Amino acid sequence: MTLVRRLLDQAARTPGAVALVSGDGAELTYGELRRQVLAVRHGLLSGGLAAGDGVLFSVRPSPESLVLALGVVAAGGVVVFADPGAGPEMFTARLRLARPRWSAAESVLYAGSRLRPVRAYARRRGLLLPNLADLRIPGEGPMRHIRVGRRLPGVPRNALSFARLARGEAPEPDREPDPDAPAAVIFTSGTTADPRAVVHTQASLAAALDLFRSRLPLGPGDVVHTDQLMLGLPTLIAGARWSMPPLFCAPADFARLMRERHATHTFCVPVHLAEILDACRELPPSVRYVLLGAAPAPAAILRRAIEAAPSAEVLSVYAMTEILPVAIASAQEKLAHAGPGDLLGAPLPGVGARLAGDGELLLSGPNLCRGYLGADPVSELPTGDLARLDGGRLVLTGRKKDMLIRGKFNLYPGLYEPAIAALPDVAEAAIVGVPDPRTGDEEVVLAVVGPRDLPARLRRALPDRLRRALPDVIDHDALPDRIVVLDDLPRSGRTRKLDRDRLRELVVR
């Protein structure tokens, strides 16, 4: 059974229940969600969408984007997530690889990418938008377009209106798409010369949702507050309610909406949760599960989460775009881990995990992506993460590409950063190497962030205190050459991951 079929069947069982609450508070029932998805599917097929057609997707998280993405997949199309804000060269390279035949975007984005005054305004703010309206299929002709929002100057004349599609006929499908065919393409990394994109099928995504639900109880009556699609979809398949925060939601408003909507579950990037707890020290008593993911969760954040939601279970999710989720560990398990490295937890049922000769973690399972766009299918994923097994549990020891060389010693920052971050008056810690032109080795720099309420005199004394404490916490060969205290660690992207390249720039003498 395909992922979309499972959602449609759940919606048919509880048509009157609220499926989704949007950022502005508008409610969408399961029955209306089902009808709209089927209507969009039918409209796209009638408009010429063929099985396997890629749809370049430039619609921000919203009820409309959910319905449109599900309608594309239900029709046998492939949702291609290629950020138009990535810059013209990268965007063009990704298009060249993905070769989508359709483009779906918000009307304001079409207008902003085509009208000269708007393009100039965006360029002054560092956003170079591609001209979406004039995109072409290589060697064939113009792309077909779908607009979300009212018609604006700059929107292609022949663009299909999402609103009109969603109001159309909604017949039951007479056939289902192949569950093993591509359903989503997600660009993750690479260069303009060699972009890289992950290809997921309905089957791999459905397996991922099942794994989430195996560890995270969900059902009617639950309210999941998140903007993350991969937590919102299992919410809907379980018959629960997805509470979607508005775009660019301020931390205080995120917490307020959780309280007003009686949220039982939430997902946050660790740094985002820290901002929420800065604005609101306690999470609503209705919250039973707090999920942290997309980046390592420092011990200080885990402790704050436990204090802010004492009746909730705080969980840390280890996942990759290529295979998600992989392992889930509770905050208590992570804090109780006394050894080096970051405890990830036991692999979830069906996920295969083994170590290569150099310690690299290799993963497999039904939730593994089909492979990378333009490459052969994969049956096992080299993660680039270094790990060890501790009684059946995975412990992350570092990233291969983050390795520092100090004489004959290979230093993996991820092996030591969790232990340093657990020390008193340390909220976050990161180790980077700065090339030493005299020796050819790397100067090892430890950057730490203290609690926001740390008095100035303790902040000034923190490097000396850490030099005295670190020999009892980390290996002698891993001791830093220099310790710097920062207000914040630099982060990048929507998931706010640590930007080590920027950090190196900040700590150069």
Residues 479 and 439 sit within 8 Å (Cβ to Cβ): no
Task: Find the mean pLDDT for residues 140-152.
Answer: 90
Which parts of 25-183 fold into alpha helices (H)?
30-46, 63-74, 88-98, 107-114, 116-124, 162-167
What does the alpha-carbon distance between residue 75 and residue 57 come to, in Å, rounded to a whole number?
Answer: 15
The whole-angstrom separation of Cα 104 and Cα 54 is 10
For 65-122, how does the pLDDT look when each residue is reduced to its tens digit (9 = 90+)? Answer: 999 999 999 999 999 997 776 666 778 888 888 999 999 998 888 877 666 665 555 5
Mean pLDDT for 223-250 is 93
pLDDT reported for residue 471:
86
Q: Please answer whether residues 341 and 396 qualify as being in contact, where contact means their C-beta atoms are separated by less than 8 angstroms.
A: yes
Chain length of the chain: 509
Does residue 260 have a pLDDT over 80? yes
Residue with tokens 């079929």: 5
Q: C-alpha 267: how far from its chain's center?
A: 10
Cβ contact 72:43 at 8 Å: no
pLDDT at 133 over 60: yes
Closest by alpha carbon to 230, among 445, 95, 442, 61?
A: 61
Q: Is the confidence at residue 435, as pLDDT, over 80?
A: no
- Spatial contact of 269 and 281, defined as CB atoms under 8 Å apart: no
Give the pLDDT score at 208.
93
- Which tens digits make up the pLDDT trace of 358-389? 899 999 999 999 999 989 999 999 998 899 99
In the numeric block, which tokens belong to residue 104?
A: 């779906």
Instruction: Give residue-wise pLDDT tens across range 286-340.
Output: 999 999 987 778 888 899 999 999 999 999 999 998 998 999 999 999 999 988 8
Q: What is the pLDDT of residue 410?
A: 67
Mean of pLDDT over the chain: 88
3-state secondary structure of 452: coil
Q: How confident is the model at residue 241 (pLDDT cuts 50, 70, 90)?
A: very high
Q: Tens of pLDDT along 271-280?
A: 889 889 988 8
Q: In the predicted model, is pLDDT for residue 439 greater than 50?
A: no
pLDDT at 207: 94
**Quick check: helix, strand or coil at residue 140?**
coil
Within 325-421, residue ranges assigned H as helices are: 331-336, 413-421
- Please give the residue that has the higher pLDDT: either 38 or 443: 38
pTM of the model: 0.81
Confidence band of 269 (pLDDT split at 50, 70, 90) = confident
Q: Which pair of tokens denotes residue 459? A: 């902040």
pLDDT recorded at residue 389:
92
Phi/psi for 444 (5° steps) reads -90, 120
Structure confidence by residue, pLDDT tens digits, 44-60: 999 999 999 999 998 98
Q: What is the DSSP letter of 368?
A: B
Helix (H, G, I), strand (E, B) or coil at 291: strand
Are 434 and 504 in contact by the 8 Å Cβ rule? The answer is yes
Q: How confident is the model at residue 126 (pLDDT cuts 50, 70, 90)?
A: very low
Delineate the domains of the chain, giving CATH numbers in brackets: 3-193 (3.40.50.12780), 204-399 (3.40.50.12780), 403-507 (3.30.300.30)
209 within 8 A of 201, measured Cβ to Cβ: no
At 441 the pLDDT is 60
Task: Provide the 8-state DSSP code for 85.
Answer: G
Neighbours of 225 (CB within 10 A): 27
| Radius of gyration for the chain, computed over Cα atoms and rounded to the nearest angstrom | 24
Residue among 395, 290, 392 nearest 344 (CA): 395
What pLDDT score was predicted for residue 251?
A: 92
Asked if omega into 340 is within 30° of 0 (cis), the reply is no
CA distance 351 to 394: 12
* Each residue's pLDDT tens digit, 177-221: 899 999 999 987 666 667 889 999 999 999 999 998 888 889 999
> What CA–CA distance (Å, rounded) separates 323 from 368?
5
113 vs 411, higher pLDDT: 411
d(CA 381, CA 384): 9
Q: What is the pLDDT of residue 234?
A: 92
SS3 (DSSP) at 277: helix
Q: What is the pLDDT of residues 442-479, one digit of tens each?
A: 789 999 999 888 898 888 999 999 999 888 888 777 88
Quote the tokens at residue 169.
């006929």
What residues are paired with 189 via a beta bridge? Answer: 196
Q: Which pLDDT does position 408 carry in this prediction?
A: 57
pLDDT of residue 189: 64
pLDDT for 292: 92
